[in-house]
A = this chain, B = another copy of it.
Amino acid sequence: MSSEMNGAESLVRTLIAGDVTVCFTNPGTSEMHFVAALDKVPGMRCVLGLFEGVVTGAADGYYRMLDKPASTLLHLGPGLANGLANLHNAKKANSGIVNIVGEHATYHIAHDAPLTSDIEGVARPMSNWVKTSPTSAGIAADGALAIEAARQTPGQIATLILPADTAWGPASGIAETAPRVAPPKVSSDAVKAAAEMLRKSPKATLLMGGAALRARPLELAGRIAAKTGCGILTEGANTRLERGAGRVQVNRIPYVVDQALKVMEAAGNLVLVGAREPVAFFAYPDKPSLLMPKGARSTKLAGIEDDMEAALEALAIELDALNTPPAGVAGPRRPALPTGPITPAAIASILGAKIPENAIVVDESVTTGREFFPETAGAPPHSWINNRGGSIGYGLPVAIGAAVACPDRKVVALEGDGSAMYTIQALWTMAREGLDVTVLVFANGTYNILRGELTNVGVRNPGPRAVNMLTIGNPSIDWVHMARSMGVEASRATDCTQLAKSLDAGLASQGPYLIEVAL
């Protein structure tokens, strides 16, 4: 077989052998051999996006749900560039992704054809691993290296650049990927230091992040909290938080600096489990960048590179808390359905009343969603995903990846209207693949977060032209038309009763459904 195989086929077979079985793609000419190989070799699901930000964001969402990398297929430097913003978000979420980026044939690059650019230069700022594979005989081995890089703990962005002649030239066979290495256990010193801080601090909090936010580590944290009286917090944005009735309930550090400072003041000393000492999202004149109160200290129990569940178990044993019933377990609670005008608080109640069991909530609701947590805490168990990198336009693509990863779970995407527009092409992929995603677009017709930020950065009395630049309601976007234009069924809700009804319709459908939530 290998004697007839070209480089592209050896790469596809290497990916599949390395358990990379989904390819989110937006290909061009230089990737045609890879496309042909995808066709020839069974075992790779191909999902087409009409814009590369959809492709990379989907790979992020896929990793967040399955803890294993998907591949992307991107067209040269500009195609990769279009995917960079969501690679930034994925990198900050420590998602593992194997990017395959087509390149001109090696001998063609020197001629500076229109699409020639410095692909490695484009890749580097948002990648942990970058390599241009020079020969068709070596591409399979480089593919294996890319997989190994991507599926480390934590995950990494691996970008493999595939010149056209590397794809079409003869291969030397499939390469084997080294087995995944289990993350290391933390030292007993780290456990003892954490136990000591929890025992001796007048106020102490477990600050958790990354894979520490799964149900079992959270349960361990709840036992530790019950035993020691410590609090539990998460960073402002989480890769995937497992929450809902029966799970240990945690709150996030607020986005707004003054609120965050109050929360951190109450938190006291910190035991870090997959999280860092908190910093402000942005700097503001006369406000601090670092959110730790004066005199507060932190100790690192475990980083995202460690086996965090084992670390929490060791800490629970050290504190004799392993059998202590966990504190802060959310009881089942479905809020009453509100009526009347739609407000952020009313949306929170409706979500709390309707989120189905085992749902995946992808939250890019920005200002509208700041208060969604309390009212949804008692809904049946579900996963909640946030934007770790802060570049908006992550939500709809991540919802695609989550739906591809978990076809038996309902995905609910919560979107600001401004943020939804960055990668709106995602709706088309949802329709094409029949993905089970219900999208709520909170249509307030403004970059509402920036209205607040004008004041926060010290701009008093902004004039009409400044306000106009933050207003996206003129023309207003017709979200029902938008969704239908790409094959997604949709409806508009202008009061709470309609919203509840629309949400029922979306959740009952087996495919994508969009609700314009008029605010």
Contact = CB atoms under 8 A, between A and B. Distances in A.
A290 interface: yes
A192 interface: no
A458 B168 contact: yes
A105 interface: yes
Given A35-B454, A463-B40, A469-B48, A391 B168 contact: no
B422 A50 contact: yes
A416 to B, nearest CB: 12
Interface string A421-461: 11011001001100000000000000001100110111100
Contacts of A453: 28-29, 32
Nearest to A465: B39
A129 interface: no
Contacts of A92: 114
A506 interface: no
A475 B469 contact: no
A280 interface: yes
Contact of A28 (B88, B450, B482): B450
B30 A282 contact: yes
Given A79-B391, A121-B124, A475-B428, A51 B421 contact: yes
A390 B289 contact: no
Nearest to A31: B450
Interface residues of A, number: 101
A164 interface: yes
A428 B417 CA distance: 13
Contacts of A36: 454, 459, 462, 466
Interface of A: 25, 27-30, 32-33, 35-36, 38-40, 46, 48, 50-51, 53, 76-79, 81-82, 84-85, 88-89, 92, 104-105, 107-108, 111-115, 117-118, 121-122, 124-126, 164-165, 168, 236-237, 279-283, 285, 289-290, 387-391, 393, 418, 421-422, 424-425, 428, 431-432, 449-450, 453-454, 456-459, 462-466, 468-470, 472, 474-482, 484-487
Which 8 residue pairs are nearest across A and B when measured between Cβ atoms? A475-B487, A78-B391, A81-B84, A105-B283, A481-B485, A39-B466, A108-B283, A114-B390
